[in-house]
Amino acid sequence: MRSLIGAVVGACCLSAPALAETPAAIVEDVQGKVDGIAFMDYVAPGRIIKLGPKASITLSYLKSCLRETISEGVVLVGTEQSTVQLGDVKREKVPCDTNAAKLSDREANQSAATTFRTMRSDAKGAPAKLPTLYGVAPLVQAKSGSTLVIERTDGKEPTISVPLKSETMVGGKFYDFAKAGKSLTPGGSYLAILGTKRYAFQIDASATSSPTPIVGRLLRLE
* pLDDT above 80: residue 103: no
CA distances from 114 to 54, 92, 197 (A): 52, 37, 12
Residues 157-184 pLDDT 10s:
999 999 999 888 988 889 999 999 999 9
Which of 73, 207, 215 minimizes the C-alpha distance to 134? 207
**What is the overall mean pLDDT for the chain?**
81
* pLDDT above 50: residue 96: yes
Residue 76 confidence class, pLDDT cut points 50, 70, 90: very high
- What's the confidence (pLDDT) of residue 11? 44
The backbone torsions φ and ψ at residue 210, rounded to the nearest 5 degrees and listed phi first, read -65, 150
CA–CA dist 84, 59 (Å, integer): 12
Express as a percent the part of the chain with pLDDT over 70: 78
- Please give the average per-residue pLDDT across 128-154, as a whole number: 90
- Annotate 24-81 with DSSP letters as a single string: -EEEEEEES-BTT--TT-EE-TT-EEEEEEEEEEEEEETTT-EEEEEEEEEEE--SSS
What is the distance in angstroms between the CA of the first residue and the CA of the last residue of the chain? Answer: 42
* pLDDT above 80: residue 44: yes
Residue 129 confidence class, pLDDT cut points 50, 70, 90: confident
Task: Please compute Rg for the chain using Cα positions.
Answer: 19
- Please give the average per-residue pLDDT across 38-54, as a whole number: 94
- What's the confidence (pLDDT) of residue 101? 64
- Annotate 99-164 with DSSP letters as a single string: HHHS--HHHHHS-HHHHHHHHSB-TTSPBPPPPEESSSS-EEE--TTSEEEEEESSS----EEEE-
CA–CA dist 86, 90 (Å, integer): 14
Kindly state the greatest CA–CA separation across the chain: 63
* pLDDT above 50: residue 105: no
CA–CA dist 89, 91 (Å, integer): 6
* pLDDT above 60: residue 106: no
CA–CA dist 2, 139 (Å, integer): 39
Beta bridge partners of 176: 139
Name which residue leads in pLDDT, 67 or 213: 67
